[in-house]
């Protein structure tokens, strides 16, 4: 292993995700294991610009593996988008003798890190932390599994009420650009219909599907709606439209919202974050840079950040087909 790197900075940026703390813990303890110093920067890139950091040790990260959110806080830094902001960040890192950065976040975080690395020759490795699971180069992102379980648990409870009162519930979940949460939680919770950004089924098809459910003897139904679905209506407008066209249904709306981001991470997310955090440090020591550490078929991988930021993961079309079959 290369010994050119003696001090690593770690930060979280963008939207928080359950398991980020487990990733921070893994980075800090891997640094200690390899006799490296580790600095934790608060509020992502903004913390680097404002020199807001602390030196972290294995004891600094005790009892955080089970906690949601991020102990390093998170923010989207407008200052870092400017040349002046990045210059200040570089000067602060140089003064603190930081040799490389581990960036825990999404593709926006990685895009900023790649620009910074190219401008100032600071090696970076990204760790994918986002509940959306829409980042190329990894089968799973940190926080996705926890978010799915949160949604399924909520929908199970909503279905109890829907069944008791013969109601049609529209449940909005996160996913402005990607329908991974909606599709997988919809199948897992037995939703009658799933609306996602990648697949515009149209209002007529939705109405016909709900009519078919009614004819088949269903007295209540659940429709999972990703916030970025392509019907052209928000979830409240959608419920009102269906209510007017299908008066036999009493429609209700539940927006799960930021509940999906919080909570104690699942075992899957804790283990995933631990594996990715350790490997991020090892990749830096091996001389790798400007990559994201990911997982494919349970094997840790490295993908160039430049390739990751040019698109998103594709939705599972087979799962879409299965959801249609199971909604009968």
Q: Are 306 and 113 in contact (CB under 8 A)?
A: no
| Residue of 272, 225, 314 whose CA lies nearest to 18 | 272
Q: At what angle do helices 144-165 and 267-285 cross, to 10 degrees?
A: 160
Rg, the chain, Cα only: 22
Query: Could you tell me how many residues make up the chain?
Result: 328
Structure tokens at 113: 């890190």
Active site residue 290: no
Please give the DSSP secondary-structure letter assigned to residue 81: G
Residues 6+ apart with CB under 8 A from 322: 187
Phi/psi class of residue 189: alpha, beta or left (left: φ > 0; alpha: ψ in -120 to 50)? alpha
d(CA 317, CA 305): 26
| Residue of 325, 17, 18 whose CA lies nearest to 187 | 325
| Residue of 128, 143, 70 whose CA lies nearest to 313 | 128
d(CA 126, CA 277): 9
Catalytic residue selected from 107, 132, 229, 269: 132
How many angstroms separate the most distant Cα atoms in the chain? 70
Q: Are 206 and 194 in contact (CB under 8 A)?
A: no
Residues 6+ apart with CB under 8 A from 94: none
Phi/psi class of residue 249: alpha, beta or left (left: φ > 0; alpha: ψ in -120 to 50)? beta
d(CA 11, CA 20): 10
Q: Which residue numbers are catalytic?
A: 132
């Amino acid at each position: 292993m290369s010994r050119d790197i003696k001090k690593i900075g770690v930060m979280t940026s963008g939207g928080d995700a359950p398991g980020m703390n487990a990733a921070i813990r893994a980075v800090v303890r891997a640094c200690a294991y390899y006799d490296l110093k580790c600095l934790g920067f608060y509020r992502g890139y903004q913390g680097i610009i404002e020199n807001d950091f602390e030196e972290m040790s294995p004891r600094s990260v005790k009892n955080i593996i089970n906690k949601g959110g991020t102990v390093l806080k998170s923010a989207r830094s407008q200052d870092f988008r400017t040349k002046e902001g990045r210059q200040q960040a570089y000067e602060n890192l140089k003064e603190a003798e930081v040799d490389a950065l581990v960036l825990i976040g999404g593709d926006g975080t990685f895009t900023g890190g790649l620009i910074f690395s190219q401008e100032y020759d600071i090696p970076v490795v990204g760790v994918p932390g986002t509940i959306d699971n829409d980042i190329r180069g990894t089968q799973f992102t940190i926080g996705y599994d926890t978010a799915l379980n949160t949604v399924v648990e909520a929908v199970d409870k909503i279905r109890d009420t829907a069944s008791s009162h013969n109601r049609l519930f529209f449940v909005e979940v996160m996913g402005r650009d990607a329908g991974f949460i909606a599709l997988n939680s919809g199948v897992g919770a037995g939703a009658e219909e799933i609306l996602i950004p990648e697949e515009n089924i149209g209002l007529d098809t939705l109405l016909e599907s709900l009519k078919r459910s009614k004819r088949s003897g269903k007295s209540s139904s659940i429709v999972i709606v990703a916030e970025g679905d392509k019907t052209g209506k928000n979830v409240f407008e959608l419920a009102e439209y269906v209510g007017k066209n299908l008066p036999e249904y009493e429609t209700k709306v539940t927006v799960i919202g930021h509940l999906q981001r919080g909570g104690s991470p699942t075992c899957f997310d804790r283990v995933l974050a631990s594996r990715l955090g350790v490997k991020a440090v090892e990749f830096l020591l091996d001389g790798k840079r400007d990559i994201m550490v990911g997982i494919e078929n349970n094997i840790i991988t490295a993908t160039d950040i430049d390739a990751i930021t040019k698109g998103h993961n594709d939705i599972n079309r087979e799962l879409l087909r299965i959801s249609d079959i199971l909604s009968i």
